[in-house]
Amino acid sequence: AQSVAQPEDQVNVAEGNPLTVKCTYSVSGNPYLFWYVQYPNRGLQFLLKYITGDNLVKGSYGFEAEFNKSQTSFHLKKPSALVSDSALYFCAVRADNYGQNFVFGPGTRLSVLP
């Protein structure tokens, strides 16, 4: 079975400080990992994904994520947070032997304080 954990329901960070949103996963095959962001009453917007290759993936809006196979983690990071980054962040996983649908984590609400 595939599963995703986001251990923090809420992350608070001051504007200009670095932010990290944590994600760990469990899959039986090769993992494909995705980050999506959801603003209030909006759909999910794709940020970045890890397929293969370089463990550090760069995405939209200055976000990046680091794939760590030994720790089965895919933490989302940004060097300098903006107030406009405040939103709900979902980590999602698919495995190459599983199917086409995503398994999402429970989400982490990021609040960037001015």
Partner 1 sequence: AAGVIQSPRHLIKEKRETATLKCYPIPRHDTVYWYQQGPGQDPQFLISFYEKMQSDKGSIPDRFSAQQFSDYHSELNMSSLELGDSALYFCASSPRLAGAQDTQYFGPGTRLTVL
44 is an interface residue for partner 1 by CB under 8 A? yes
17 is an interface residue for partner 1 by CB under 8 A? no
7 is an interface residue for partner 1 by CB under 8 A? no
- The rounded distance, in Å, linking the Cα atoms of 78 and 90 is 15
32 is an interface residue for partner 1 by CB under 8 A? yes
Q: How far is the CB of 80 from partner 1 (least distance, A)?
A: 26
**Interface residues for partner 1 in 84-113 (CB under 8 A)?**
90, 94-96, 98-107
49 is an interface residue for partner 1 by CB under 8 A? yes
51 is an interface residue for partner 1 by CB under 8 A? yes
- The rounded distance, in Å, linking the Cα atoms of 113 and 15 is 6
42 is an interface residue for partner 1 by CB under 8 A? yes
Which helix (DSSP H) or strand (DSSP E) does residue 88 occupy? Answer: strand 87-95
Sign of the torsion angle spanned by Cα atoms 23, 15, 110, 103: negative
Binding site for partner 1 (CB under 8 A): 32, 34, 36, 41-46, 49, 51, 90, 94-96, 98-107
